[in-house]
């Protein structure tokens, strides 16, 4: 995969294939920020990605703010959608998780609080187009 990587996606199956391909690049300590509107497929992408690490119970962390999964790797799955201020993230101890070199962190709605994100990360931006296909753009920052 060469970055920035851009692909137009027309089905869930193609999203799944991309998530699988991308998952093979991940290492302990990595952070992935996911950016995209409601219904763009952020949680679905994360589910497929986690499955590659033998995690079957990944689901939406919108309400819980953070789900922790342990499979072949440990994952912190955040969702900033419901967070009301950056201070709340600091209170939750966001940096304790982001600085855990043993875990991989995935953040949905990461663009809501860009200031807390690590400089070095993968950023995946999903855009829903008028014909309901999606464009996935993956950058290595």
Partner 1 sequence: MTVLGIESSCDETSVAVLKDDLVLANLISSQDFHINFGGVVPELSSRAHIQIITTLVKNALAKANCTLDEIDAIGATAGPGLIGALLVGYTFARGLAFAKKKKFVPVNHIEGHIFSGFLSEDKPTFPLLVLAVSGGHTLLLIAKSFTEIIKLGSTIDDAAGEAFDKVAKMVGLGYPGGPKIQAAAEKGDKMKIPFPIADLKGKYDFSFSGLKTSVLRYVQSAFGRPQNSPIPEADLNDIAASFQYAVVKALLKKCELALKEFEISSMSLVGGVAANQELRKAFLQLGEKYKKKVVIPKLEYCGDNAAMIAFRAQSLINAGESFSLETDAFPNFSSKYFINSTL
The residues that touch partner 1, with contacts defined as CB under 8 A, are: 38-39, 43-44, 47, 59-60, 62-66, 68, 82-85, 87-88, 91-93, 128, 130, 132
Choice between 121 and 134, CB closer to partner 1:
134
CA dist., res. 87 & res. 27, Å (int): 29
Q: How many CA atoms lie within 13 A of 78 on its CB side?
A: 27
In the bound complex, what is the minimum distance in angstroms from residue 33's beta carbon to partner 1?
20
In the bound complex, what is the minimum distance in angstroms from residue 62's beta carbon to partner 1?
5
In the bound complex, what is the minimum distance in angstroms from residue 56's beta carbon to partner 1?
9
Question: In the structure, how many helices (H) and strands (E) does the chain have?
Answer: 4, 7
Choice between 23 and 62, CB closer to partner 1:
62
């Amino acid at each position: 995969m060469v970055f920035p990587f851009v692909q137009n996606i027309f089905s869930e199956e193609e999203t799944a294939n991309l998530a699988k391909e991308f998952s093979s690049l991940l290492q302990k300590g990595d952070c992935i920020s996911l950016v995209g509107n409601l219904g763009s497929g952020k949680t679905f992408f994360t589910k497929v990605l986690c499955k590659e690490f033998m995690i079957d119970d990944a689901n939406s962390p919108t309400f819980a703010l953070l789900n922790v999964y342990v499979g072949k790797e440990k994952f912190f799955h955040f969702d900033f959608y419901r967070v009301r201020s950056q201070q709340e993230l600091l209170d939750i101890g966001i940096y304790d998780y982001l600085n855990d070199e043993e875990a991989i962190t995935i953040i949905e709605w990461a663009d809501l609080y860009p200031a807390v994100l690590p400089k070095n990360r993968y950023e995946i931006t999903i855009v829903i187009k008028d014909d309901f296909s999606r464009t996935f753009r993956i950058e290595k920052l």
